[in-house]
Amino acid sequence: MLYPTAQAYSDIRFRQPATVFTIDPAAALIPQQVAVFPLASDQKLGEINGPVTIAAKWISTIQRRIEQSVPDVLVANLDDGGWLDSDIATYAISFFNATSDVLPISEPYLYTASNGDLVAEFAGRHGKLTNVIGKTAVNSFAIVDGQIVKTTLKFPLDNIEEARQELMQLTSQL
Amino acid sequence: MALWKPNAATVAGSEFIGRRLFERPGLKGAKDQKRPSKTFELYHFENSDREVSVDRLGQTSVDGKVKKTYLNARGHYAATLMHKREFHGWAVTQAKIVQSPPSSYPILPSPIAQVGVEPLTENSFHAHIEMPDRLSPYEMAVILKHMFEKNYRLEPCIPSGKTEGWLGRARRWLGI
């Protein structure tokens, strides 16, 4: 019976590849677009842990209306009225993006309060939901059985889930 | 027939009260939205202090004479000098809707005396709804808006050019 010897083992050699493959770095970095408000659809399926929020149909329309109501300070005549403070607009858009799926289905009617806060009114089956978005908070009001029900969410909305729960409770009563 | 003289001590539940409506431009970027029918807006019911001003429009309905010869001119005057906006008319409801439970907000007569030489600063048909301390101005505005929309009624003003003819002015001057 033949057994391999140490000499035989030492004869085994790993060849070096004739050609060495290397990956060249890209000549220039491709600029990345920063998504300001990532959508649920931006997530990969494997990364989704729970139910996915589906934004309300009206979200893009409302976002456009809000954005177009912020004046270009160089061009706009601010005495006209009907303009929206840029901070309030930013807060309003982030609020609607975070909560549109728990707000009523119908498109809100937008206007400003006397001090420039944004008012968004939703019509529900049994009542109205009035959201007043200011620089520090969103106040949401509903009248249920003749009594006013109020929720205040302060900016920044740190606990989105809690905010959504509170709004959901309010909306479910309408 | 003489003009109705409202009770100086109380506002009866049967009386019709009106909140003045002044024009306000809509959001610049939302010109394509349609205002829901039979609604008012929150700012119509906002007040800077804890008394929400109203006009007493009539004893058991909107009194055309009170409106035409007295309150209409005052609405236009307030629009020009105080609000710098056009006067549209009144959001109207019956006093008992505001005074009755569950809300039960008191309405108190509060006639306004003439300031200086301008007679239109005087308003003997003025009253105010008392805002409870527990409510914020926004809450009060939401509640009143809801009450006035419940039985929606908009009493339009008479355009300022037609407010008072020579007869009206003469009547006002004579105090009849």
The answer on pLDDT for B29 being more than 50 is yes
- DSSP, collapsed to helix, strand or coil, labels residue B168 as helix
Q: What is the spatial distance between Cα B29 and Cα A119, in angstroms, rounded to a whole number?
A: 14
Predicted TM-score of the model (pTM): 0.79
Residues B28 and B2 sit within 8 Å (Cβ to Cβ): no
Using CB atoms, which residue from A65, A130, A146 is nearest to B33? A65
- Chain center to CA of B120: 15
Read off the pLDDT of each residue in B91-112 and give the average, rounded to a whole number. 93
Q: Answer whether residue A74 shows pLDDT above 80.
A: no
CA–CA gap between residue A119 and residue B164 (Å, rounded): 37
Q: With bands split at pLDDT 50, 70 and 90, how would you rate the model's confidence at B45?
A: very high
Q: Which of A116, B17, A135 is closest to B6 using CA atoms?
A: B17
CB A117 within 8 A of CB A132: yes
Chain A residue with Cα closest to B27: A82
B26 touches chain A (CB under 8 A): yes
pLDDT (tens digit per residue) in A132-172: 999 999 999 998 777 889 999 988 877 888 888 888 888 88
pLDDT above 80 for B161? no
Task: Collect all residues with Cβ–Cβ distance below 8 Å to B82 and sequence separation of at least 6.
Answer: none
pLDDT (tens digit per residue) in B121-131: 899 999 999 99
Q: Tell me if A150 and B139 make a contact (CB, 8 A cut-off).
A: yes
Contacts of A114 in chain B (CB under 8 A): 43, 46
Residues in chain B: 176
| Sheet of strand A137-144: strand arrangement | A109-112, A118-123, A128-133, A137-144, A147-154
Percent of chain B with pLDDT over 90: 70
> What pLDDT, on a 0 to 100 scale, did the predictor assign at position A76?
65
Considering only B14-18, B106-110, B113-117, which range has the smallest mean pLDDT? B113-117
* Residue B118 confidence (pLDDT): 85
Q: Look up the ipTM and state it.
A: 0.84
Mean of all residue pLDDT scores within chain A: 80
Q: How far apart are CA B169 and CA B171, in angstroms?
A: 5
Query: Nearest CB to B33: which of A67, A110, A112?
Result: A110
Minimum-distance CB partner of B27 among A69, A141, A148: A69
Q: Would you say residue B175 has pLDDT above 60?
A: no
More reliable by pLDDT, A47 or B57: B57
